[in-house]
Structure 1
Amino acid sequence: MVKFYQHTSSFEHAWDNVTYAFWLRYPNPFASHVVGCDVVDRQVDPVTGVLRTTRLILKQGVLPRWGRGLIKNPDAYIIEESEVDPRTQTMVTRTKNLNHVRVMQVEETQTFTVHPENPKWTQVKTEARIISELKWGLTGRVEAFGINKFMDNSVKARKGMAHILERLRQNAALAASAPATAAAAATPDC
């Protein structure tokens, strides 16, 4: 059996800001389980202008008590492949775990597009599949645990993105006010 998850959310930020925040989302206070994130490959298609990136992410896993006998080390390596098309303003990311796949495979696809009702916002569609190949009556239990954990982590991921977007907004406001502040400081009082 396979468990599915689908959710659509919005950020009140422009598509280019959200896709930029995506690359900066680690570290953030809502992703303390992410140990590291490394770019494995990145290239721009010279004809289409599409940016393709492959990253490797290491996450510290948490196991329920009943799952500790199944997995010795709960840390998970995640492969993330993404395509950013600046012409259509679409970014698609696909992630899946590379280890523990027999116990539980998590496959996630996210699609970032300009919001259909407000072009100054970004819509994100998240889809996931949770698959377990365990037998002995554990498949349903593992998949149920996986889907619940995925839903909890999705909320944290959206909070993390919102945190990064707010930091970008604050930095832009500081940068915009910096020239005026510097000019005022350089102007003599007399």
Structure 2
Amino acid sequence: MVLGLDVFHVFKYPADKVIKTHLAKYPTPKEKFVECIKTVEEKVDSVSGIEYRKKLATCTNVVPNFLRRLGLLNVPAIYLEEESWYYRRQRTAKLSSRMLTWANLAELSEESEFRPSPENPNWTEFRMHGTIAITGVGPFGAILEYYAQMFLRGGGKKSIRIMEELLRERYGEGTKPSSNNSILSNTTSQSRHSVS
């Protein structure tokens, strides 16, 4: 089974500020589980101006102890890879991330996009689609899928909160947001697919 999460949020700041903040947000004391970020590739296309980056993140293993009894899950750290394409002229960015740890057991990936809002060009729309598929662990698969979905949902909310805090610290108050400018929704699919 493939579990998914869709996130939509409007940041009340211009896209260039939001994108720059996202690309430099980790590590931060606001997120204790991201231990280290290493840029392994960075280039700018001289014709299009597109900025490409590939980063590797080292994160604390947050899998609960009762699940770590499965020896495969008892690792000291979790590694993630993120690729980003910043289209500076269009004031948009696309990101793709995936978990490298346990790649033979689980497929966890996210596709994200930042773009100016059609409602107000000084605001930024953020859309993210994440998927989780657990294989090869037998009856524990359903438990791991449930836990992974809760982690992905909590991580989505936390990431937005951290971004809002960093934007306020760097640029002051943005335009006052509406009472609820975030939407998180779960999706489930029985058919196996991947986001790439």
Partner of 1:43: 43
**Correspondent of 2:124 among 122, 126, 150:** 122
Partner of 1:100: 102
Higher relative contact order (CA 8 A, sep 6+): 2
Alignment of 1:82-161 (within 5 A): 82-161=84-163
Report the 3-state secondary structure (helix = DSSP H, G, I; strand = E; otherwise coil) of the residue aligned with 2:39.
strand
More helix by share: 1
| C-alpha distance after superposition, 1:146-184 (max 9, x if no partner) | 0111100111111111111111114xxxxxxxxxxxxxx
CA RMSD, 1 decimal = 1.4
Deviation, 1:135, is 3.6
Q: Distance in 1 between matches of 2:38 and 2:69?
A: 30
| C-alpha distance after superposition, 1:122-167 (max 9, x if no partner) | 0000100101113422222211110111100111111111111111
Q: Distance in 2 between matches of 1:82 and 1:66?
A: 35
Q: Distance in 1 between matches of 2:149 and 2:85?
A: 25
Alignment of 1:57-96 (within 5 A): 57-70=57-70, 71-96=73-98
Report the 3-state secondary structure (helix = DSSP H, G, I; strand = E; otherwise coil) of the residue aligned with 1:137.
helix
Deviation, 1:74, is 4.8
Q: Distance in 1 between matches of 2:11 and 2:48?
A: 27
* Residue ranges of structure 2 left out of the alignment (5+ in a row): 173-196
User: Normalising to structure 1: TM-score of the pair?
Assistant: 0.84
Deviation, 1:72, is 1.8
* Residue ranges of structure 1 left out of the alignment (5+ in a row): 171-190
Deviation, 1:38, is 1.1
Report the 3-state secondary structure (helix = DSSP H, G, I; strand = E; otherwise coil) of the residue aligned with 1:144.
helix
Q: Counterpart amino acid of 1:6?
A: D
User: Normalising to structure 2: TM-score of the pair?
Assistant: 0.82
Deviation, 1:103, is 3.2
Partner of 2:179: none
